[in-house]
Copies of this chain bind each other. A is one copy, B any other.
Amino acid sequence: MGKTLVYPKKESNTANRYKHRATYDLGAIHSIINSSQVLHVSFNPGPSDPFPAILPMIGQMASFDYPSAGIGEPLDCYLHGYVSSRIMNLARASEGDGLPICVAASRVDGLILSLTPNSHSYNYRSAILHGYAKLVTDEAEKLWAMERITNSVLAGRWEHSRVPPDRAEMSSTVILKVKVVDGSGKIRDGGVSDERKDTDNAEVTDRVWTGVVPVWETFGQPVPSATNKVEGVPEYMTSYIASMNAQNRDYAESAVGIPLPKEEQH
């Protein structure tokens, strides 16, 4: 077993609540990012606007320089966008390290229904990265990132569609590369956890149902377009959908059974 890499703890990424749920492990954080269909990316539009902006984007963590890097090794975050969008213009105009951004991913795995609203929670996985974003200018790296991002939507889709992108498509698409400065994750699993004041109160325990409702994302039956000419649904699609459905459901259901750590308060 090799060592486990962790992001350095700084004020900006250190949990001060439910510390036992926090992770700084690169593998855990990168896995949450890479299995999320949508990332929320925050940036500051400029000195005249007091509000940070958030953009939903698609992205993947990977290393172009070290393509064999595993999920637990240092990776860059590649984000897909349109050439004239505001975040791309800001990244293009940014000086020095690039545009400071925050990337977030969260998914809910279950509703934790305990005796009193205060101890209600979700089973969830969330990850945050801070880093500096710059446009990818190398064509080979851009194409490589586009392939990874397309295949994150549906594994194998890139090679089963019309590729490579033509010149117009390459120039209308922009890929942002985020050099990660720090990151953190939070994972909550297990069941309910109530306080003695409620668990000792028969009036409450006799009437309040407690437990977990597992929650997961389901992929439905593919609906062919009116112009589709391929008979049946290709095997790479059916197998991806079946394996994601099984994996999502298994995770949500098995998360319920994981014993709570001793320090868990609720």
Contacts and interface: CB of A to CB of B under 8 A. Distances in A.
A262 interface: no
The interface centre, meaning the residue of A130, A166, A218 with most chain B CB atoms within 10 A of its CB, is A218
A28 to B, nearest CB: 16
Given A161-B117, A241-B213, A52 B52 contact: yes
A35 interface: no
B223 A211 contact: yes
A49 B14 CA distance: 14
Given A16-B84, A40-B40, A40-B54, A213 B165 contact: no
A214 interface: yes
A154 to B, nearest CB: 6
Contacts of A197: 166
Contact of A209 (B192, B206, B233): B233
A7 interface: no
Q: How many copies does the complex hold?
A: 2
Contacts of A22: none
8 contacts: A17-B82, A38-B122, A40-B54, A51-B181, A113-B154, A113-B222, A160-B209, A209-B234
Interface of A: 11-12, 16-17, 37-38, 40, 42-45, 49-54, 56, 82, 84-86, 100-104, 106, 108, 111, 113-118, 120, 122, 124, 126, 128, 130, 146, 150, 153-154, 157-158, 160-163, 165-166, 169, 172-173, 181, 191-192, 194, 197-199, 201, 204-230, 233-234, 237, 241, 249, 252-253, 256
